[in-house]
């Protein structure tokens, strides 16, 4: 099949999932066309099966806001026609499903029918989408999609609670390539980060408010009182500066390493002992899954879809949002004993394998086949 994928190309989980999906589909013989404003960060290799089409938005001083959706829908029309695309898969309702719908309608004027699959990833629905300024457009775009998928049961339920959705929402969880991690790294440069006797605690995110970055720092501050340890903070975002200040106030700056965005998170995770994800809300928690596949147990909040990924008492522990004492106590339970830590590490890997790419990508292919067949009814 020739599939156009629209996603955010940045470090966010939705872009990562869309990119890894495209790469996996190309490996299974499909022709993939990424259409977005920048080459996706995880898309390192273009091939005869993977193409990237950049959306340019010309700057006009006349416009107070440059119309990205307009440029995207025009680019979609051109690319779909030029490459004879069979199917459009958009990640994120805002604004991709909206632009996709416009492209579909323009193409229909020319007798071309392209089914659109929309995957809901979280913040578009739970935070932005429900705002009255966006809600009618988001509801409309979801209802006009040929198939809607959600990355967790929790997000599906949240979407049905907030919006007036007419059709089905199918849950297809996020995934991870377990095979990629089956050979353990030999170049774990653990010694660059911590001494032999120290544990390494890690957090990776885009440092938005929803990630509750101060909780990460406060949990670690309690951990390090009992367990010699270092905290590695990976990512960039609005809460980073405040986090650095908080470390100074708590007197733990010498134990916290801020690394910025990284394309090498597997190398960092391979020497980590524990992952912290105390988010306010999280549709899935891809970062937790990436930690788990690298044998890193997770201490998280029980928000949103996280309990569908991190299994209580098995791959880690879950606490109520904001309960930093509980999270710290549970982290210490895991970290203080070598045997307990080893058990949680192995369990984390086992739990992550539930989401192996080999199991999940065929679910998308099944959806594509169904939507593609249905198109004959619509032409």
- Binding interface with ligand GMT (CB under 6 A): 12-15, 17, 121-123, 151, 174, 206, 208, 210, 281-286
Q: How far is the CB of 172 from ligand GMT (least distance, A)?
A: 10
Assigned token pair, 274: 């524990």
**Of 220 and 284, which has the nearer Cβ to ligand GMT?**
284
Give the nearest distance from C-beta 107 to ligand GMT in angstroms. 27
* Angstrom distance (rounded) from CA 350 to CA 178: 10
Nearer to ligand GMT, 77 or 210 (CB): 210
Q: Which residue, 107 or 303, has its beta carbon nearer to ligand GMT?
A: 303
Look-up of token digits 């990512």: 235
The half-sphere exposure of 56 on its side-chain side, counting CA atoms within 13 A, is 4
The structure tokens 């509980």 sit at 326
Q: Which is nearer to ligand GMT, 176 or 223 (CB)?
A: 176
CA distances, 344 to each of 5, 31, 193, 273 (Å):
36, 40, 22, 10
Minimum distance, C-beta of residue 92 to ligand GMT, in the bound complex (Å): 7
Using CA atoms in the order 163, 168, 169, 170, what is the torsion angle rounded to 10 degrees?
170
The two three-digit tokens of residue 372, written as one number: 């593609």
- Tell me if residue 239 falls in helix, strand or coil: coil
Closest approach of Cβ 125 to ligand GMT, in Å? 8
Measured from the CB atom, the residue of 12 and 115 that comes closer to ligand GMT is 12
Indicate the residue whose CB is closest to ligand GMT: 122
- Least distance from C-beta 105 to ligand GMT, angstroms? 26
5 near 72, Cβ under 8 Å? no
């Amino acid at each position: 099949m020739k599939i156009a994928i629209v996603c955010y190309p940045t470090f966010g989980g939705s872009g990562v999932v869309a990119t890894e999906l495209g790469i996996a589909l190309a490996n299974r013989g499909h022709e993939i066309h990424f259409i977005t404003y920048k080459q996706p960060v995880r898309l390192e290799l273009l091939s005869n099966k993977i193409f990237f089409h950049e959306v340019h938005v010309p700057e006009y001083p006349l416009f107070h806001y440059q119309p990205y959706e307009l440029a995207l829908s025009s680019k979609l029309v051109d690319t779909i026609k030029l490459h004879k695309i069979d199917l459009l898969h958009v990640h994120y309702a805002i604004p991709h499903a909206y632009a996709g719908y416009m492209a579909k309608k323009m193409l229909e004027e020319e007798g071309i029918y392209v089914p659109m699959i929309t995957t809901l990833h979280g913040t578009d629905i739970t935070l932005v989408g429900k705002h009255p300024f966006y809600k009618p457009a988001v509801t409309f775009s979801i209802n006009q999609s040929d198939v809607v998928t959600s990355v967790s049961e929790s997000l599906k339920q949240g979407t049905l609670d907030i919006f007036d959705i007419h059709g089905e929402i199918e849950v297809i969880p996020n995934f991870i390539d377990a095979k990629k991690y089956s050979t353990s790294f030999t170049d774990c440069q653990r010694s660059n980060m911590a001494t032999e006797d120290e544990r390494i605690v890690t957090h990776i995110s885009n440092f938005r408010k929803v990630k509750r970055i101060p909780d990460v720092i406060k949990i670690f501050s309690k951990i390090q009182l009992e367990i010699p340890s270092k905290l590695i903070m990976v990512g960039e975002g609005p809460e980073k500066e405040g986090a650095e200040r908080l470390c100074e106030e708590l007197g733990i700056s010498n134990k916290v390493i801020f690394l910025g965005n990284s394309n090498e998170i597997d190398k960092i995770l391979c020497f980590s002992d524990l992952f912290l994800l105390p988010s306010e809300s999280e549709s899935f928690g891809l970062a937790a899954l990436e930690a788990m596949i690298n044998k890193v147990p997770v201490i998280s909040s029980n928000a949103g879809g996280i309990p569908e990924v991190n299994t209580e008492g098995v791959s880690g522990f879950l606490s109520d949002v904001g309960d930093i004492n509980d999270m710290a106590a549970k982290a210490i339970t895991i970290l203080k004993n070598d045997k307990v830590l080893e058990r949680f590490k192995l369990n984390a890997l086992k739990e992550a394998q539930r989401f192996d790419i080999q199991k999940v990508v065929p679910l998308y292919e099944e959806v594509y086949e169904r939507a593609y067949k249905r198109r004959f009814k619509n032409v």
